[in-house]
Structure 1
Amino acid sequence: MNTHGDDTDLLDDYLRAALARLGPADFEAVIRAADATCLLLADGQPAVLAGPDGAAFGADLQREYLALLAVLITGRTDHPIVPLPGPDGTCGWAVIEHHLTQDPRTLADFCTRAADKARDSARTGTALEQLWRAS
């Protein structure tokens, strides 16, 4: 739900709930990643994620990170977040608008198109990396 009275802070409420869901170490990793992402993006740089103790971000931390960025960018907490299976079997996530969730076919079509685009982007990235290494 996205309705808050004038005396509540939407981000504060969201962060308290995220801390309860994640625990201190994972929460700190998500906050640090979101903060670093905001700084990098503001400076036109790509973002790199690292979990607690420098470990890779797992699917749960990726989802929380994406949810936090959605709150920071839109000022709303009501975006659905849907899983997107990756070509290698790992799970990715997408923040979507509610209208996409109203019809199962529309949602499935969106997820298929997003997965196809990710697969195409991965192939393009691999091809570009091979060209770069060959030169």
Structure 2
Amino acid sequence: MNTQGEAPDLLDLYLREARIRLGPAGFEAVVRAAEATCVLLAGGQPATLAGPDDDGFGPRLQREYLALLAVLITGRTDHHVVPLATPGGTPGWAVVEDHLLKDPAALHDVCTGIVARARSSARTAAALERMWDAG
């Protein structure tokens, strides 16, 4: 937090703009989801980057959540949230740096790699679940 007379820092400015974009309820949902994720990460726990499992935390808030996490993790606001082509039409995004937007081939390669790793992880998780259930 800033002392009186001090200019607002990057996070303060970002949060003020997010509050305007999202409104009070959306802003609170995004901040609470980001806080919960940060607590898990700080405790060394794995964290699934996801918000509440209800219709009120739709794609718009999910994108804002990822953008906020990027600001919290990097301390910068020069990132971009780009859509991923995911199976079944489930919304998916990647947070990328500005230079990737200027190189469509590199952006495509990064996004394709992210989706491939997610599919592989999902298959592994499903196989482990089946082994656990059978065990």
The normalised TM-score by structure 2 is 0.84
Whichever residue aligns with residue 111 of structure 2, its letter is: C
Shift of 1:50: 4.1
Does the Cα contact within 8 Å between 1:30 and 1:61 map onto a contact in 2? yes
The size of the alignment, in residue pairs, is: 128
Once residues 110 and 51 of structure 2 are traced to their aligned partners in structure 1, the CA distance between those partners, rounded to angstroms, is: 28
Match of 2:90 in 1: 90
Trace 1:114-129 onto structure 2 (pairs within 5 A).
114-129=114-129
Match of 2:75 in 1: 75
Q: Which has the higher contact order (CA 8 A, sep 6+)?
A: 1
Shift of 1:88: 2.2
Trace 1:17-32 onto structure 2 (pairs within 5 A).
17-32=17-32
Whichever residue aligns with residue 60 of structure 2, its letter is: D
Does the Cα contact within 8 Å between 2:80 and 2:98 map onto a contact in 1? yes
Whichever residue aligns with residue 31 of structure 1, its letter is: V
Match of 1:38 in 2: 38
Shift of 1:67: 0.6
Shift of 1:22: 1.1
Q: SS of the counterpart of 2:88?
A: coil
Does the Cα contact within 8 Å between 2:51 and 2:62 map onto a contact in 1? no
Q: SS of the counterpart of 1:94?
A: strand
Shift of 1:55: 2.0
Shift of 1:126: 0.9
Q: SS of the counterpart of 2:12?
A: helix
Structure 1 gaps, min length 5? 1-5
Match of 2:104 in 1: 104
Once residues 121 and 68 of structure 2 are traced to their aligned partners in structure 1, the CA distance between those partners, rounded to angstroms, is: 25
Match of 1:3 in 2: none
The normalised TM-score by structure 1 is 0.84
Does the Cα contact within 8 Å between 1:33 and 1:65 map onto a contact in 2? yes
Whichever residue aligns with residue 101 of structure 1, its letter is: L
Structure 2 gaps, min length 5? 1-5
Percent identical pairs in the alignment equals 63
Q: SS of the counterpart of 1:69?
A: helix
